Amino acid sequence: NAGVTQTPKFRVLKTGQSMTLLCAQDMNHEYMYWYRQDPGMGLRLIHYSVGEGTTAKGEVPDGYNVSRLKKQNFLLGLESAAPSQTSVYFCASSYSRLAGAPYEQYFGPGTRLTVT
Amino acid sequence: GENVEQHPSTLSVQEGDSAVIKCTYSDSASNYFPWYKQELGKRPQLIIDIRSNVGEKKDQRIAVTLNKTAKHFSLHITETQPEDSAVYFCAASTHNDYKLSFGAGTTVTVRA
């Protein structure tokens, strides 16, 4: 049981390049989330999904797109990277219909992205 | 949307002393309040949480209190140890959407 995994762990992009971050969970969770973490600002929600095929905007969605084609995967895309998107990105998941307890979010190990 | 404020931003305590972190929230509909601990370079991990129908919850050296009327909640760590050094985040959520709004974090340093 790997929990929540993220790929890649580190990435350096040039301004204007694109990339996709992959999040995978093996806990059969319904909900998945993408956060960014910047110094002194805590964790801010970018986009989230309450089920396969659904996505919704969070607090800071601009410049990002997401997709959830499979229940266990949640992809975060940057179409044209900007230096302001330099951050650590965390994926999280929660809520198994069988286990109940929908509140606790389990986090992945993070992806450190630098945009130059 | 929900706004969560967390104080202090940094906290240095002597080993064995207590540490207290306070958070306030703005949305009176919030009913779930977790605390996450994040060690350097690691992922956030849940250490304790409280729901709005409870005023206090304890787990060994950690306790959380909630005052719904004043819309604030606090984390108390007693008998601090070096391994308690980390960044602590409070968060708040409503029942309907399960989204978490996080505070900015408190860096706790336990001095030996």
pLDDT digits (tens, 9 = 90+) for A15-71: 999 999 999 999 989 999 999 999 888 899 999 998 999 999 999 999 999 999 999
**Residues A91-110: what's their mean pLDDT?**
80
Alpha helices in A12-108 (DSSP H): none
Q: What are A34-50's pLDDT values in tens digits?
A: 999 998 888 999 999 98
User: Which parts of chain B register pLDDT below 70?
Assistant: 95-97
Q: Inter-chain contact A48–B103, Cβ cutoff 8 Å?
A: no
Q: Inter-chain contact B99–A58, Cβ cutoff 8 Å?
A: yes
Contact status of B98 with chain A (Cβ, < 8 Å): yes
Q: Which residue of B has its CA nearest to A101?
A: B98
Q: Inter-chain contact B98–A94, Cβ cutoff 8 Å?
A: yes
- pLDDT attached to residue A97: 61
- CA B37, distance to chain mean position in Å, is 8
Contact status of B104 with chain A (Cβ, < 8 Å): yes
- pLDDT attached to residue A99: 59
pLDDT tier for residue A1 given thresholds of 50, 70 and 90: confident
**Do β-strands B72-77 and A56-57 pair in parallel, antiparallel, or remain unpaired?**
unpaired
Q: Which residue of B has its CA nearest to A57?
A: B99
